[in-house]
Structure 1
Amino acid sequence: MKQNIAVIMGGYSSEYKISMISGNVVFNHINTDIYNPYKVIITKEKWVVLTNDNTEIAIDKNDFSAVINKTKITFDCVFNVIHGTPGEDGKILAYFEMLDIPHTSAPSYQMALTFNKRDCLSVLRKHGINTAKSLYYDKGQNIDVDTIVAELGLPCFVKPNNAGSSFGISKVNTADQFKAAFEKAFAEDTEILIESFLDGTEVSIGVINYQGNIIPLPATEIVSENDFFDYEAKYEGKSQEITPARITEKQLENLHTEALKAYKALNMSGFSRSEFIFIGDIPYFLEMNTVPGMTTESLLPQQAQAAGIPLTDLLSNAIEMAIKN
């Protein structure tokens, strides 16, 4: 008997549109010989199953079920494709864990930890992983620009502490650009992170649990046409994404070591995609994406394909690992 899979997409953040694109890609590539996929749209206003004729069926939040054609549908697994809150920060995953419904992401605590950039960096530094220098501020807190410049130098990056897809990020080259950068970041979050600039080759690398083994995928080199790998570069074709990355064997060896170390140190499971910048042969960790994009432009599917893992197999494996674990 086929298992019912809820592909959850949407969410409550600026990443809603990207999540919907990713969610539809996942829905369309799940192996229907094995699974019955359902589109489940999660927004602040409604939780609904979207049927093939675009009818919206309300989700019963008591047990995460829906009545379709007079039949109650429950789900054997949830495939999480919600970027941002409440999917990537673990909130909705804690709900599924209370209901004992398997999901394809890491446990809710790990998701919350990795989504909070400051806390994630704090943990990884304890494990000897190199990162940029950083400062952290809450909204309403007095921010002294002179202190920032003295400690981090210029240029530097101002970013929301809890956000993805490069929403709210600014590269600050001069002191008079901080005001606009703070306003942009605080529009996305009540906490911001300011990081020193690392001038080197940027790479992205996926780590997944594939058939019971934790493996790194081929790395992707990021060559942005813009000043950094911003939203336009990620999603509107303003970058070159070269897989496998044009790095040396030594750099690749170091990258695999650090990517696997980060995945294990954070007690991850499911998908992750981490960003690093090389200074010489040493990779410096930037951030980890635990609900990586699944659009046709997204990096993790590109990397899986380069590793000989078709998208349908990648998705099936994620579901199997979730149910097994």
Structure 2
Amino acid sequence: MRTRVAVIGGGENCEHDVSVASAASVAAALDPATYDVVPLTIGRDGAWRDRGLRPIGLSGAAQVLRGCDVVFPVVHGPRGEDGALAALCELAGLPYVGSGVRPGALAMDKWATKLVAQAVGIATAPGALVTRATASHLRWTHPVVVKPVAAGSSQGVSRVDVPEALAPALDAAFALDDRILVEDLVAGREVDVAVLRRADGTLFVPPALEIVTDGIFDYDAKYGGNADFRIPAALDETDAKALQNAATGVFEALGCAGVARVDFFLTEAGPVLNEVNTMPGMTEHSQAPRMFAAAGMTYPDLLDELVRGAHR
């Protein structure tokens, strides 16, 4: 008998389109001999839709989910990756793929992630948490990166090299969140590390990926095809080990499950954590699946491992 898997995409946030692409890719790649895929989509308006994109509401979606064996949430960003869908599954008693409520919420909150990382000895960029109430007191003194605390796909992220660029950068970040981070610019190579918790509980870390781009790795660079992804990243044994240890360290400290992509700046002093994505881009050509492919794990095999590792 085939396993019935609900694949949820979309979402009521700025990463909607990216999530739709990820979910469609996951649904298409799950082996039809093993899995019966039931697609569900959350619209930009928050409305749930069925396979034919007909509105069915949350109550209709709950009926669909109750008829499934496993839920595979592929919703990036707020009201999805932040633990919201994990909470729905847990309340309904449904096995689901990926991190639970607490790690999803912690990792989505970049400020909380920094505090957790620092507590286990992982370096992060010096920075400050800024709200609308405190933003008026902020003064530019050196190059910084401004970003929303809880958004993804590099949306609302700006590099600020001159004083007059600070106010527009704050406005862009506040358009997506009421809490933002202002972090020192870190000089280093951008290196991503994927971590997978296998169905048997062990961790698997494939070769790292280096991002080479001209300037900040923003939304346009990420999805416009202008970034150069180098897999495996050219790393010596010391740096590779340090990155792996830091990635698994923060993965465990947050309590992650399934797959996560942990993004670093590799500096002369070692890895500096940028952020943790508990539901990274999941098309076959996204960064995390490409890293696993470099280790010999095919995209369908990665998805199969994730479904088999589903938990309540």
Return the alpha-carbon distance in structure 1 between the equivalents of residues 123 and 246 of structure 2. 9
The equivalent position to 1:65 in structure 2, one of 63, 66, 74, is 63
In the other structure, the counterpart of 2:29 is 29
In the other structure, the counterpart of 2:165 is 177
Return the alpha-carbon distance in structure 2 between the equivalents of residues 95 and 61 of structure 1. 12
Change (3 A) 1:287 1:228: same
In the other structure, the counterpart of 2:117 is 124
Return the alpha-carbon distance in structure 2 between the equivalents of residues 61 and 97 of structure 1. 16
> Alpha-carbon deviations, 1:90-143, whole Å to 9, x = none?
112211101011111111111001100001111110111011101001223343
> Alpha-carbon deviations, 1:9-41, whole Å to 9, x = none?
010111001100111001110111111111100
Question: CA contact under 8 A between 1:23 and 1:294: conserved in structure 2?
Answer: yes
In the other structure, the counterpart of 1:217 is 206
SS in 2 for 1:203: strand
In the other structure, the counterpart of 1:317 is 305
Post-superposition shift, 1:296? 4.3
Change (3 A) 1:95 1:279: same
In the other structure, the counterpart of 1:99 is 92
In the other structure, the counterpart of 1:85 is 78
Q: Which amino acid in 2 is paired with 1:155?
A: P
Written as runs of structure 1 = structure 2, the 5 A alignment for 1:277-288 is 277-280=265-268, 282-288=270-276
In the other structure, the counterpart of 2:49 is 48
5+ residue gaps, structure 2: none
5+ residue gaps, structure 1: 67-71
Alignment TM-score, normalising by the size of structure 2: 0.95
SS in 1 for 2:309: helix
Question: CA contact under 8 A between 1:105 and 1:291: conserved in structure 2?
Answer: yes
Aligned residues: 310
Identity of aligned residues (%): 31
Q: Which amino acid in 1 is paired with 2:96?
A: H
Written as runs of structure 1 = structure 2, the 5 A alignment for 1:91-240 is 91-146=84-139, 149=141, 154-212=142-200, 213-225=202-214, 227-240=215-228
Post-superposition shift, 1:216? 1.2
> Alpha-carbon deviations, 1:157-185, whole Å to 9, x = none?
00000000000000000111101000100
Which deviates the most, 208-217 or 125-134?
A: 208-217
Question: CA contact under 8 A between 2:19 and 2:75: conserved in structure 1?
Answer: yes
> Alpha-carbon deviations, 1:245-288, whole Å to 9, x = none?
01111100111111111111111111100110111151010100
Post-superposition shift, 1:86? 1.2
Which deviates the most, 135-144 or 18-27?
A: 135-144
SS in 2 for 1:65: helix
The equivalent position to 1:293 in structure 2, one of 251, 265, 281, is 281
In the other structure, the counterpart of 1:273 is 261
Return the alpha-carbon distance in structure 2 between the equivalents of residues 320 and 256 of structure 1. 24
SS in 1 for 2:228: strand
Change (3 A) 1:12 1:60: closer
Post-superposition shift, 1:211? 4.1
The equivalent position to 2:292 in structure 1, one of 304, 313, 317, is 304
Return the alpha-carbon distance in structure 1 between the equivalents of residues 86 and 30 of structure 2. 21
Which deviates the most, 72-81 or 168-177?
A: 72-81
Return the alpha-carbon distance in structure 2 between the equivalents of residues 144 and 102 of structure 1. 47
Return the alpha-carbon distance in structure 1 between the equivalents of residues 162 and 150 of structure 2. 24
CA RMSD of aligned residues (A): 1.7
Change (3 A) 1:158 1:319: same
Question: CA contact under 8 A between 1:274 and 1:289: conserved in structure 2?
Answer: yes
> Alpha-carbon deviations, 1:52-102, whole Å to 9, x = none?
xx3626255387123xxxxx9711111111011211111122111010111
Question: CA contact under 8 A between 1:124 and 1:262: conserved in structure 2?
Answer: yes
Change (3 A) 1:307 1:91: same
Return the alpha-carbon distance in structure 2 between the equivalents of residues 143 and 251 of structure 1. 40
Work out whether 1:11 is the aligned partner of 2:4: no
Return the alpha-carbon distance in structure 1 between the equivalents of residues 154 and 135 of structure 2. 25
